[in-house]
Structure 1
Amino acid sequence: MDELDILKKDWQKREIEHPKLSYNDIYKMIWKKSSSIVKWIFIISILEFVLPNLLYLLPSTRERMSIYYTNDSSTFFIVLSGIQYLVIFYFIFQFYKRYKEISVLDDARTLMKNIIKTRRTVKHYVIFSLSMILLTMSLFAASFYFDPNMLTAVYPNEIPEGLTEEKLRTIMAISFIVVALLTTALLALIYFLLYGLLLKKLNRNYHELKKMEI
């Protein structure tokens, strides 16, 4: 039982030995906790965008990524990356907007509506992020199979002994698909641990407010 549950129990039972708390006292506790949770959602979304992009500053990372942007499919992947960045910026802005809205609320019913909007925004963001990861890596796999320049970029000198070009393209494509599935599953777990726990706390606050409104 957390602090909010204890205070709510005090408020309901009105026990003499505990300080009496008004409706407004309980609301302010829930409001502050909700505001803090949404702020952390906003911060985590920024870190999630910034940290992977910092890796691109490393020469080794830039060299590996250049393979995927120096072939016949480069224009498509650049456009896809641009769209992905725009949508991510949109979601980060929405998280910031939800945080600012919750920070200035003065009634429980509006807070409940904003909690619902925040939960919906987070769910859409997680679905989009996982879908883009799976889609992008699957397209890379298809590029290895259909675009000979991709294979030439990875093996500029000669194909490993015992393998034909077609067989090697198939192996690379299947490997990318397997990595895509494993990466998506791992990130889904991370999202559950980060956003899932925060949404669970936010959902608890929503139900507490709903009980108070009845």
Structure 2
Amino acid sequence: MLVWERPEPPDRPVPAPLSRERIVQAAIQLADADGLDAVSLRKVAAALDVGPMRLYGYIATKEELLDLMVDAVHAEIRPAGDGWREVLRSLAEATRQAAHQHEWLADLIGGRPQLGPNTLASGEAVLAAMGGVDLDTVVPAVAAVNAYVIGAVRREITERRAERLSGMDQKQWQATFGPYLQRTFATGRFPALATVVHDGPHLDADQTFWTGLDFLLDGIEARISSP
């Protein structure tokens, strides 16, 4: 029986009452502070001041705990709006905000579909908004938006982590490696890259995200509108 359907143990009059919700929230706090490496059943039990064995009545494995954590964060992802474009844009924005709030989420989203109730509710909202669109378009369109958002937020979170690890923000990194690129471009071997670096737009993370998303949504709209 999956964790979503498995009943919790009955309440017991003990000094530290437990529930799956309390366990998951403790795990999320650990992950928010120190990443997924800080999450284990033993560490969560210590944070709750209980013995590790008590957690196994609620959660059988760390994988179940991670699934529950992802689903709990999906409670923050509630796509809304008038029409499919607004809802897909809302989905992208809410997912990005959740990943910025919980950086570890970027390591867990993608891959096989999440099956928790909050995740299913988010998917239901998106698909309901696209009810007037044929399924041959809906399925790849939603998949494309999800793939774009996952890739974008992973890139952004990777940049954040690189800044913390190196001690250099993006401008400092560019200043450090700029002379190397100038010497390399001066060889004439990479004219297209040189043109982009010298003359192309230099968008910040927000501009890059929203511009790319609009390109994608424009393509979906063109496909929906085509006869």
Scaled to the shorter chain, the TM-score interval is under 0.3
The structure carrying a bigger helix percent of its residues is 1
TM-score by length of 1: 0.26
Q: Which has the larger radius of gyration?
A: 1
